[in-house]
Amino acid sequence: MSKIIAIGNQKGGVGKTTTAVNIAAALVRRGKKVLGIDLDPQANMSEYLGYDYSTLYSISHLMITAANNDLSDEVIAQSIVHNAEGIDYIPSNIQLASADLFLSNVMCREQILKRILKRETFDQYDVIIIDCLPSLGILLTNALAAADGLIIPVQAQKFALDGLVQLEQVYQMVKLNVNPDLNIEGVILTMYDNTNMSKAVETALEAKYGSALYVTRIHRRIEATNSTYEQKSLVSYKNSFLGTEYISVTDEFIERSLV
């Protein structure tokens, strides 16, 4: 049975997609079969993984089709893209931005993604990673309804904690009303540097989340930008500082969530 993880934060620019892609890539290197789901209309995960827009279907098409009870295994298979590093993923596109509109009259609309991922096609994956959009709404609710756990990347900078209250409110609402098995799998401190601000955010997160805060810190480095531009994971680079950190984060994830 697949472990489904949503990676999200209402605040943008926290390294959410970088974290999702590099945990996926590191899991593949650890022998796991991984599926990424790009649930962000900006399609950053799709771009990072090298999507060339040749695939017939996207996650928005799957959700619309599932909402109409017309989803076939053939359509699912044709939506999955195979990345050069061994990551499978379902891409996104701007059509997903209209999710509130096309799901507005659908019964149990917050569980459309969950219904999709219960299909037998997805049983082949050890881990499914959902890259959530940086906002609240029906797409985030769908991700949390489908997930076993939530990983929250938090930027070690000023105002980093501002969006967590609202994110936690949505998390609690979904856990109470839709998905009682949902848990916060972990919090990852990203863009960390040797400043008082980073240390203050670190201290606040330690007080708030305790052992849920991952031990590994992801530092601020220019190689993160280079990685996305070259459409290669950080863990694929030889002697990558951030790649080593993401491998460490992934090993923590395996120990916490997969053992």
- Whole-prediction pTM value? 0.95
Query: For residues 219 and 193, is the Cβ–Cβ distance under 8 A?
Result: yes
- The burial class, CB within 10 Å (0-12 / 13-18 / 19+), for 46 is buried
| Residue type at position 141 | T
* Residue 30 DSSP symbol: T
In this predicted structure, which of 104-108, 168-172, 190-194 has the lowest mean pLDDT? 104-108
Task: Compute the distance between CA of residue 259 and CA of residue 253 in angstroms, rounded to an integer.
Answer: 9
What pLDDT score does 135 carry?
A: 82
Phi-psi region of 132 (alpha: psi -120 to 50; beta: other; left: phi over 0): beta
**Domain assignments of the chain as residue spans, ordered by start:** 3-258
Can you tell me the mean pLDDT for 187-210? Answer: 93
What pLDDT score does 55 carry?
A: 73
> For 89-123, how does the pLDDT look when each residue is reduced to its tens digit (9 = 90+)?
999 998 888 877 778 778 888 999 999 999 999 99
Query: For residues 169 and 216, is the Cβ–Cβ distance under 8 A?
Result: no
**What does the CA dihedral 232, 236, 240, 245 come to, rounded to 10 degrees?**
100
Q: What is the largest CA-CA distance in the chain?
A: 54
> For 28-75, how does the pLDDT look when each residue is reduced to its tens digit (9 = 90+)?
999 999 999 999 999 999 999 999 877 778 999 999 999 988 899 999
Q: What is the SS3 assignment for 192?
A: strand
Closest CA to 32 of 125, 151, 131: 125
- Token readout for 114 is 């969950």
Q: What angle do CA 47, 123, 27 make, to 5 degrees?
A: 50
CATH architecture for the domain at 3-258: 3-Layer(aba) Sandwich (3.40)
CA-based Rg of the chain, rounded to a whole angstrom?
A: 17
**What does the CA dihedral 256, 147, 158, 244 come to, rounded to 10 degrees?**
40
> For 232-245, how does the pLDDT look when each residue is reduced to its tens digit (9 = 90+)?
999 999 999 999 99
Share of the chain above pLDDT 70, in %: 100
Task: Compute the distance between CA of residue 47 and CA of residue 67 in angstroms, rounded to an integer.
Answer: 26
Beta strands in 106-244 (DSSP E): 127-132, 149-155, 183-190
Helix, strand, coil proportions of the chain in percent (round to 5)?
Answer: 50, 15, 35
Share of the chain above pLDDT 90, in %: 73
Residue 163's pLDDT band (cuts 50, 70, 90): confident
Element (H, E) at 4: strand 3-7
82 pLDDT more than 90: yes
Task: Compute the distance between CA of residue 146 and CA of residue 140 in angstroms, rounded to an integer.
Answer: 10
